[in-house]
Chains A and B, each alone.
Chain A
Amino acid sequence: MSEEESNAGDIKDLQCAAVAISVTTVVFFVIYWAVQINSVRELLELAYG
């Protein structure tokens, strides 16, 4: 029983950690790529009008 509880606790912990990293990753990358694409767009506007 205690081994099952420990196992269940492990999985909850790992799932929480996984969600924390995944959400952070997605948020970071949305911001990062939006900034990159925007700066490319601005440069292109500057270059080609």
Chain B
Amino acid sequence: MSASVSTTSNSYRKTITVAILLAMVLIFSLTDLRHETWLRLYEFFLWLEKTPFGIIGKTWGAVFAIVEAFHLLAMALLGGAVIVSDARLLGWLFVDVPAREILDRAHKVFVAGLIVVLATGVFMACGVAGKIYWLPVFWYKMLVLATGIFFVFFVRRPLLRHPLEEIHPWVLRSIAISSMLIWFTVAATGRWIGFAGS
């Protein structure tokens, strides 16, 4: 009796967290809070440009370009892991290989790619902080990136640790599709940042 009470009180904790976070993001986006926070971040972005990363990025275009190239390469690695993993969930690739094998290994590659993407991204952001602060597309990218990271580590990975047979097929498909959408949009909005300032 007490065991079932304790499981009921623990159940849907993640769903409630997700619902609260979504509500917070909506309230934040649709009220003055967004604009106020953006104004307060101005000093921080000015400071970013004065950091060693910012100075190096602004002074030597070649260094910035090489870091950007590694950002692209890491994106390719991350994208490869996402494609292999999501294609397995959708039953498009490697259907005869145990899903556990594909998902676990691809996740390791994903994490390696993500670390390099974030490190190179921070470097580049420092170099162009004064410009990106004013670009709506940069803020969209940060929102989608944060969503992607939260989604992978808080929901997707914990869920996929369970045997796939215990998960509803449509849940697997929706995870795969939204994962591909999220990471594609992070990449595409990133590319648009490049256009918006030039």
Contacts and interface: CB of A to CB of B under 8 A. Distances in A.
17 contacts: A5-B4, A5-B7, A9-B7, A11-B159, A11-B167, A12-B12, A13-B11, A13-B13, A13-B14, A13-B15, A14-B158, A15-B168, A16-B15, A19-B174, A21-B155, A26-B178, A29-B185
Interface residues of B, number: 34
A20 to B, nearest CB: 5
B147 A20 contact: no
Nearest to B182: A25
Interface string A3-38: 001110111111111111111111001001000000
Contacts of B147: 21, 25
Contacts of A14: 14, 155, 158-159, 162
Contacts of A10: 11, 158, 162
Contact of A18 (B11, B140, B159): B159
B7 A18 contact: no
B65 interface: no
A44 to B, nearest CB: 15
Contact of B162 (A11, A17, A21, A26): A11
A16 B177 CA distance: 16
B10 interface: yes
